[in-house]
A and B are shown apart, each in its own frame.
Chain A
Amino acid sequence: MDKLLRKKSNIILFLAPAFILFTAVLIVPIITAFYYSLCDYKIGLKPEFIGLKNYITMFTEDADMKTAFKNSLFFMIFSCVTQLLFGLILAALLTNIKKGRDFFKNVYYLPCVLSSAALGLMWYFIFSPKYGINKIAESLGWIEKADKGVLWLADTSGFIILPIIVISFVALWQYVGQSMMLYMAQISGISSDIYEAAAIDGCSKTQAFFKITLPLIKPMVATAMSLNAIGSLKFFDLIFSMIPEAMRGKGGKAHVLATVLYDQGLRYSKYGYACAIGVVLLIMCLIVTFLINKFVKTESDI
């Protein structure tokens, strides 16, 4: 048994396809990108090695990056907390009902499978001052005229601006189904014997949730949270389709890391600088994942 599972040829056979594909398509380009991040490289010209200058510019001079760090960190914290909370609550509620469980689950998961480009446009109109919810508020008499109401996607006052908060909620709406599914998959894997035993011991359902369910799904919490954190750091699609172009262009207040990267690399064709942003993003993702896994695992050790 042991010998069979240790056989080198088997390991190579099983691992090689994924390893080769993954290395060629992701790791090699990322190493190239890492090299470019140390270069002054504009599209069409030869890359010229300039050391850490791109990184220095990024952290000292670039105002857009400051905005982006702030917004991306907010996104990350918001999405980690709310997705964990609502994902768990939904999973807990749904495992406790029998009638219509599949229906509710399917509905909540639905936006996850729909095109973000399409949903972004939809929400753009829902929050547009002329046609969307402001129009409802107008017909209900809450505000005098639709276009004088709140500018959901363009108000730039405050430390965390309103559009970023609005989009955080839209992202929660779209992706909470994902977390819910992950938690439900894990909860449904818990043997019902444990619950029965607990019930005999006089354990209420709420108690059972905290004493049995939560500890047992902790590994999934780490997984789901890491996915959320990484996803929100790389967040791009909804910002791109919902925010007015002026606010995610140069000097815009609604920048996140991915939009600055996109701007610098693809719009101003400063590819070297964009690669540097990408590398920083990658390192941030590594750190956050490491922290989440460490934090959650430590707790479960106790």
Chain B
Amino acid sequence: MQIDVDNSLTEKSKKQSRIIRIVIYVILCFLVLVYILPLLWIIMSAMKPNADFKSSPWALPSDFSSLADNFIFAWTKGRLGRATLNSFIVSTVTLIVSLIVGSMAAFSIAKLRWKYSKLVLTYFMIGMMIPIHCVLFSLYTQFASWHLTDSLVGLIIPYTAFSLPITIYIMTGFFESIPNELFEAAVIDGCSVPRLFVTVGLPMAKTGFMVTGLMSFVNNWNELLFAMVFISDDMKKTLPVSLTKFVGPHSTNYTQMFAGIVIAVIPTIIVYCIFANQIVEGLTAGAVKG
């Protein structure tokens, strides 16, 4: 009798949970459409002749005669290839430097013992709130006097500084969650602090690296205003700058513009697809250890 009730209950709840699971998948799939359709539309439109887009913007492309022209124009005249490379260099170098410098600072705040660590953390936090428009001109005049404008280094330095607060903030949290016992064991083995950081701290905070690294990379990849003011040379412009310039004052050829958008977006999607799984690995690794 007792057992019977239990069985029917679990069966019921199994059925229920299956329905719930289906509902969840329907919701998730619908959201996938919301995310993918606009991008598909742009890719589709970039393949059409301009006139076709104007007359029926949502129809599937049927005339591919302009496809090559659109992309070649965007690639060569818009200099988007070069710009993608520049953006990649700037974002990657910034990412590496800010992760190293930032996690060192975070480590010293979270694990080294000194009076003013909280105060220094707050000091760094102010950086997150500074609107970059506000420091644009002061910084530009300063960098110009150091001859750092119009070079990628001149972008990497401020980008690194802007990435530091968020890196330090999140990494501090990750270092704090590492149990002190781990460090104590290493110290007893005669480990110096820099070694402690490299051998114990860094591996334990892998998940943190993934999250902060991605965030700072994305921010710098998309940054427009600084890049626009700091770089004059067409060969050193980053992707967002070249893109806004390409769509320029008198452009009425929309499909060429869409080709530009597609060119700007596709490499990121590819790189993302490659790295996305590693991020996932990082997350699971963090879960196992945490």
| Contact in complex: A18, B35 (CB < 8 Å) | no
Which of B107, B264, B272 touches A110 (beta carbons < 8 Å)? Answer: B272
| Contact in complex: B35, A32 (CB < 8 Å) | no
Q: Specify which chain B residues have a CB less than 8 angstroms from the CB of A207 in the assembled complex.
A: none
* Closest beta carbon of chain B to A97's beta carbon, Å: 6
* Interface 0/1 of B1-40, CB less than 8 Å to A: 0000000000000000000010011011001101110110
Q: Specify which chain B residues have a CB less than 8 angstroms from the CB of A236 in the assembled complex.
A: 133, 225
Which of chain A's residues 77-110 have a Cβ closer than 8 Å to chain B?
90, 93-94, 96-97, 100, 102, 104-110
Interface check A234, CB cutoff 8 A: yes
* Closest beta carbon of chain A to B257's beta carbon, Å: 7
Interface check A215, CB cutoff 8 A: no
Interface check B151, CB cutoff 8 A: no
* Closest beta carbon of chain A to B281's beta carbon, Å: 10
A8, A93, A110, most chain B CB atoms within 10 A: A110
Which of A43, A90, A278, A285 touches B133 (beta carbons < 8 Å)? Answer: A278
Decide yes or no: A107 and B57 within 8 Å by CB, A11-B108, A26-B127, A114-B265 being known contacts: no
| Contact in complex: B287, A189 (CB < 8 Å) | yes
| Contact in complex: A6, B112 (CB < 8 Å) | yes
* Closest beta carbon of chain A to B12's beta carbon, Å: 13
Which of B21, B127, B139, B280 touches A22 (beta carbons < 8 Å)? Answer: B127
CA distance in complex: A61, B135 (Å): 25
Q: Specify which chain A residues have a CB less than 8 angstroms from the CB of B27 in the assembled complex.
A: 93
Query: Chain A, interface size: which category?
Result: 35 or more
Which of B24, B165, B166, B183 touches A96 (beta carbons < 8 Å)? Answer: B24
Which of B184, B268, B286 touches A1 (beta carbons < 8 Å)? Answer: B184
Q: Specify which chain B residues have a CB less than 8 angstroms from the CB of A189 in the assembled complex.
A: 177, 207, 286-287, 290
Which of B108, B161, B243, B268 touches A26 (beta carbons < 8 Å)? Answer: B161
Q: Specify which chain B residues have a CB less than 8 angstroms from the CB of A107 in the assembled complex.
A: 31-32, 35-36
* Interface 0/1 of A122-149, CB less than 8 Å to B: 1101100001100110010000000000
CA distance in complex: A12, B79 (Å): 44
Which of chain B's residues 206-265 have a Cβ closer than 8 Å to chain A?
207, 211, 214-215, 217-218, 221-222, 224-225, 239-240, 243-244, 247, 254, 257, 261, 264-265
* Interface 0/1 of A231-249, CB less than 8 Å to B: 0001011000100000000
Which of chain A's residues 2-18 have a Cβ closer than 8 Å to chain B?
2, 4-8, 10-11, 13-15, 17-18
Q: Specify which chain A residues have a CB less than 8 angstroms from the CB of B225 in the assembled complex.
A: 236
| Contact in complex: B257, A115 (CB < 8 Å) | no
Count how many chain B residues have C-beta atoms less than 8 Å from C-beta atoms of the other chain. 100
| Contact in complex: A114, B138 (CB < 8 Å) | no
**What does DSSP make chain A's interface, helix, strand, loop or mixed?**
helix
| Contact in complex: A93, B243 (CB < 8 Å) | no
Which of A7, A15, A126 touches B193 (beta carbons < 8 Å)? Answer: A7
Interface check A291, CB cutoff 8 A: no
Q: Specify which chain B residues have a CB less than 8 angstroms from the CB of A100 in the assembled complex.
A: 25, 28
| Contact in complex: A33, B135 (CB < 8 Å) | yes
| Contact in complex: A258, B131 (CB < 8 Å) | yes
| Contact in complex: A105, B280 (CB < 8 Å) | yes
CA distance in complex: A132, B131 (Å): 33
Interface check A166, CB cutoff 8 A: no
| Contact in complex: A115, B108 (CB < 8 Å) | no
| Contact in complex: A121, B134 (CB < 8 Å) | no
Interface check B42, CB cutoff 8 A: yes
| Contact in complex: A22, B128 (CB < 8 Å) | no
Interface check B75, CB cutoff 8 A: no
Decide yes or no: A117 and B243 within 8 Å by CB, A15-B105, A139-B58 being known contacts: yes
| Contact in complex: A113, B128 (CB < 8 Å) | no
Which of A97, A114, A219, A282 touches B129 (beta carbons < 8 Å)? Answer: A282
B137, B222, B265, B280, most chain A CB atoms within 10 A: B137
* Closest beta carbon of chain A to B152's beta carbon, Å: 16
Interface residues of A (CB under 8 A from B): 1-2, 4-8, 10-11, 13-15, 17-19, 21-22, 24-30, 32-33, 36, 43, 90, 93-94, 96-97, 100, 102, 104-118, 121-123, 125-126, 131-132, 135-136, 139, 173, 178, 181-182, 184-185, 188-191, 219, 223, 226-227, 230, 234, 236-237, 241, 257-258, 261-262, 265-266, 271, 274-275, 278-279, 281-282, 285-286, 289
10 sampled A-B residue pairs with Cβ under 8 A: A4-B192, A6-B114, A26-B162, A90-B31, A113-B221, A191-B290, A219-B173, A261-B134, A265-B133, A282-B134
Smallest CB-CB A-B distances: 9 pairs = A278-B134, A285-B129, A189-B290, A18-B105, A25-B161, A14-B108, A188-B287, A29-B135, A29-B138
